[in-house]
Amino acid sequence: MNAPKSQISQSFFRRISVVVVASLVLLAVVQCFWGWRMYRNQVEDFERRVESATYKSIYKAFRMDAIPGLVAAEQIKINLDEFAFYFEPNLLELDALQPYAAEVLDLTASSRVMMHRGDAAAIRNPMVTLIEIDDDAMFGLRLTIEVPHRAFFGQMWGLLASSVVIVLLLSVVLIYLIRTMFRQRTIEQMRRDFTHNITHELKTPISVAVAATDAMRNFSADADIERRSRYLEIVEAQLSQLTAMVERILTVSVEGRQAKLSIEQVALREAFEQIVEGVQIGGDEDATLSIDCDEQLLVTADPHHLKSVVMTLIDNALKYGGRPIAITLAATKVDSTTEIRVADNGCGIAREHLPHLFEKFYRVPSGDVQRPRGYGLGLYYARQVIEAHGGQISAESRTGHGTTIIIKLPDNEQ
Phi, psi for 229 (deg, rounded to 5): -60, -40
Q: What is the pLDDT of residue 408?
A: 94
Query: What distances in angstroms separate CA 62 from CA 84, 124, 277, one per listed residue?
Result: 11, 27, 114
Instruction: Find the Cα–Cα–Cα–Cα dihedral 255, 258, 260, 264, rounded to 10°.
Output: 120
Helix 5-61 and helix 149-217, axial crossing angle in degrees, nearest 10: 180
Residues in CB range of 222: below 8 A, 6 or more apart:
228
Q: Do the beta carbons of residue 272 and residue 293 sit within 8 Å? A: yes
6: number of Cβ within 10 Å: 11
pLDDT score at 81: 85
Q: Are strands 264-267 and 298-301 parallel, antiparallel or unpaired?
A: antiparallel
Average pLDDT for runs of 10 along the chain of length 414: 48 75 82 85 88 85 54 63 87 86 85 84 87 79 88 78 82 81 76 68 73 74 72 78 71 57 88 81 70 91 86 83 83 91 87 85 62 65 87 89 91 61
Q: What span, in angstroms and rounded, lies between the C-alpha atoms of 12 and 19?
A: 11
pLDDT of residue 393: 93
The answer to whether residues 105 and 134 touch, using CB atoms and an 8 Å cutoff, is no
- Direct distance between the N- and C-terminal alpha carbons of the chain, in angstroms, rounded to an integer: 60
Cα angle: 103, vertex 118, 115; to 5 degrees: 35
pLDDT computed for residue 8 by the predictor: 46
Q: Are strands 298-301 and 325-334 parallel, antiparallel or unpaired?
A: unpaired
Map out the domains of the chain with their CATH numbers: 5-147 (no CATH), 153-253 (1.10.287.130), 264-410 (3.30.565.10)
300 and 411 in contact (C-beta within 8 Å)? yes
